[in-house]
Structure formats: structure tokens, C-alpha cells
Amino acid sequence: MTDAPVLEMREIRKTFPGVLALDGVDFELRRGEVHILLGENGAGKSTLMKILSGAYQKSAGRVTLDGNEIEVKNPAHAQSLGIATIYQEFNLVPHLSVGENIFLGREPVRLGFIERREVNRRASEILHGLGLDLDPRRPVKGLRVAEQQMVEVAKALSLDARVLIMDEPTAALTEHEIKELFEAIRGLKAKGVSVVYISHRMEELFEIGDRVTVLRDGRSTGTFDVRETNKFELIRLMVNRDLTELFPKEHAARGAEVLRVEGLTTRGGLRDVSFSLHQGEVLGIAGLLGAGRTELARAIFGLDKVERGMVSINGQVKRIGSPRAAINSGLGFLTEDRKAQGLVLPLSVKDNLCLPSVDKFTRLGFVDAKRERQAADRYVKELRIRTPGLEQKVVYLSGGNQQKVVLSKWLCSEAEIFIFDEPTRGVDVGAKAEIYQLMNRLAAAGVAIIMISSELPEILGMSDRILVMRAGTIACEFGAGEATQEKILECALGE
């Protein structure tokens, strides 16, 4: 790494209708460095990078590349300048194959025809370089979230970029995949490639980063050498307050059994899964990618067909064959992929928030718009959702605020049993603390929570009881205080 900046962004300003997203931000990137960009959701990180990648046009300011001022017109122009981006939300074409997505718009052509064999050969080389055994001929729509993320990584690496922007690249990756990605990043650094790395996982900052810039409310609060700062100082700069407890768990009184699952088996890979859940309990479910955690949530919520087994709610056997039946039974499901499964992006905050509860706001076949607005306004305030108004389309909110809208819609439905699948994925430390406090309040009110998470500190910090899944079944169970990261991993790996 050299001290010479390859990229400079000075006094960058960006406004949207009713919102000042960036207010005079400075950012500098040196050749061969990993520069971490930190900030709460809505602080302006993704907006700043979308200006650099050509997705947005700045309202004011200057951008220079190798000392020459540039105006990035669009994403294709950014790529031609050597600037590639991996966005937090996937930018893939579902019906195309892995290889076709990696080289989309840059396919090798001979006599006017795409050389698909060459596409697949080159894609395989990149995928193997990331330690991923993935058939480049597979359609992207059939991939898991983590596999789709790795296709995004491969697509960006295929561009031979000089500047690589990575927006939450590890949010859906396993520990092994993260290590492989970090090895790839170190290889890029050695070749002089510069990386802008956006992440809410503080431990990644100190493992892969060289410098860190913190944004708050659209302004920079400082740039630091990673070796000369610490986690708590950075958190204070991000949220303008001290977070003395990263996992502020409050143990609620355990009440009656509200959910019992017995012998649940599906074609999707669940094998004879049995467990119970009580009022006021947070039941953590851990396991490696493909262990069956999400499949379990989908089966309980009526999204996947159950081959055999039984689900009882409040002592009554329920045949939940659809999400509507699950909602009517008092269940709420926060999915791991909020963009594809949790939200209707073109609809407003209000419409998304009230969607599962539309029956509650309907009388004589007409929707009571006033009651809908009152409910939406209440939850926007309670969860501190940053939005210009209730009619703002959800697609324009930051990832963390989108997650809060998903949470709000299940609060509005007055569900008694919550299934949270990766509830804090892509969410900053300040918003994480708010979500944890919300979980505490729900548990204190007698709500039962199933929390599926890939983050072991989160599982250990917020669970009353922990189940570990392996190969589609429950492999281990730990009570509060019994589990450690080592024990959970040993069980997940079958060691």
C-alpha cells in the first residue's frame, strides 16, 4: 500500500426529495488499501458509494481518479474506469445461469454467437479461486442467499477492477466462505487493487481493514488508522452515544408452552425435528449453511409442504398449509431475504407495514385509511424508521430501515409467536441494539421468539435456550449459560 491516493471524493453532497443524504463528505482511497466505511443505516455509506459507482449523480462536490477529475455517468462508465461494485442487495438476473450473470454484457463472442463453453470455463476459474464448488450452468434463481452473494463477488472480481466497492459482502456467508473471501481480498491488495469495504461486523474491520472512515447523518466524523482505534470509540462516533452492552439481554419470565413441533419432516431436508417454545422465551437456532434452519422456519410458517409431523399452537394441533393460515394462527415470520420475500418494494412504508393486517383495518369491505395511517405512524416512531413520510416507497429506504419496516409489519399484526431469520443481517450496531431491546420488550409481554442467526455472539447473547441444527435435524440443545462458541461449532460440525 502506498500513501498516494488513487481516488478522492471532496465535499460530496447529495439530496433526494425531502432528504439531505450527504452533506459535504470527504473520502480518500489509497492504492492497495482496504478502506472501511462505517455508519448507521441511513448515515450515507451506500449513497456515497452509489455516486462513485454511477448509480446516483452527486448534487455537488468533486471526484478525482489518479489526480484527474471525473464525472461518473452510469455504472457502465464506472466499470470502464475500473470501478466495480458488489451491492448489499443482489443485482443478478434470476433466470440466467451463474456464468451468464458473471459475464453479463461481456460475453466472449465468435461469429456473432456467445461462446457458452468459454463463459462457463472462465466462470469456473473465478469460482474455484474463491473456494466455491458451484456449477456455472446452474440458474441463479435456484441458489441459496450465500451462493448468490458469492456470484456477486465473482462477477466483480471478473472485471479486473482497480477500485472495488464491497457493500456488506459477507452478510450471508459462512465462516469458511468469509475466510476465502478475505484471502481473495488480500490477493487483490497485493496486486495494487484498492477496496472500499462497507460492513456492520466490527470484527471484520480489524481483520481486513487498513483505514476506517465513519459517517453519521450524512457527514464524516473522521478517518483513522485501524490499528490506532478500537471498537467502542468507533461505535461512539457512529451513533453519538456509548453502547456499553452490545447484547442487552433481559431475561423474561418463562410462561406456558405456545408452540410444539413433533417429528417435522419435509422433502426440503428436515428430518424428524422436535422442540417446544414457551411464552417470554427467545429460542436461538444455530447451525452451518444448509443445516436446515431456514427450511424449519418455512415449514412452520406454511411456505414449504410438510411430509409428516405435527405443529401445535397453544395446545391445539394446527394444519398450516399457507402463510395466511400461519398469520391467522398468530405467527409472524421475518425472512432472511427482506428484498425478495419480506417487502413489496414498489409500495409505500404504510402499505408494507399494514399488509399482513389488512383484515384488521377492513370493515364492510372497505379499508379504513385513517386507522392504517395511525398504526403505521405509531410503528415508524416506535422503531425510529428513517423515512421522509409514510408514503415513501420502501425501495428508497436504507437496508436497516427496510428491516425495521419488516419488523413493524409483524408487530402491527399482533403476532404471538415471532420467527426471526437473521434479524440483524446488514444492520448497524445502533439499529442492532434497538432490535435487541425490541426483542426484550416482546419477551416481557409474553411473546415467544425463535431467532435464527449465523452470528454466534448474537445467539449466545440474546437466547434463553439454544438449538443447534445439523443435516436437517436438531443435533444439540443448550440451556442459558451452558453454550460457548466452541461447543456450538463442534456440534454443528459433528465433531
The residue among 492, 467, 472 whose CA lies nearest residue 266 is 472
Q: Which residue has the cell 492497495?
A: 32
pLDDT at 241: 58
Query: Could you tell me the three cell numbers for 93?
Result: 438476473
Check: CB of residue 18 under 8 Å from CB of residue 66. Answer: no
Q: What dotted CATH number matches 5-239?
A: 3.40.50.300
149-170 average pLDDT score: 84
Give the CATH superfamily of 257-493: P-loop containing nucleotide triphosphate hydrolases (3.40.50.300)
pLDDT at 172: 66
420-432 average pLDDT score: 80
Cβ-Cβ contacts under 8 Å for 154 (sequence gap 6 or more): 98, 102, 123, 126, 127, 130, 132
Helices and strands (H and E) in the chain: how many:
16, 24
Cα–Cα dist 390/377, whole Å: 7
pLDDT digits 0-9 by tens, 273-319 = 999 999 999 999 998 777 899 999 999 999 999 999 999 999 999 98
Q: In terms of pLDDT, which residue wins out, 397 or 213?
A: 213
How would you class 446 by CB atoms within 10 Å of its CB: exposed for 0-12, middle for 13-18, buried for 19 or more?
middle
| CB half-sphere exposure, 372, CA atoms < 13 A | 21
Query: What stretch(es) of the chain map to CATH 3.40.50.300?
Result: 5-239, 257-493
Handedness of CA 263, 267, 268, 271 (dihedral sign): positive
pTM: 0.60
| Strand 19-30 with 257-266, pairing | unpaired
Check: CB of residue 398 under 8 Å from CB of residue 386. Answer: yes
pLDDT at 463: 95
The residue among 255, 3, 52, 243 whose CA lies nearest residue 165 is 52
pLDDT at 2: 54
Average pLDDT of every residue of the chain: 87
pLDDT at 1: 53
pLDDT at 179: 81
Percent of the chain with pLDDT over 90: 44
pLDDT band at 242 (very low <50, low <70, confident <90, very high): low
How would you class 142 by CB atoms within 10 Å of its CB: exposed for 0-12, middle for 13-18, buried for 19 or more?
exposed
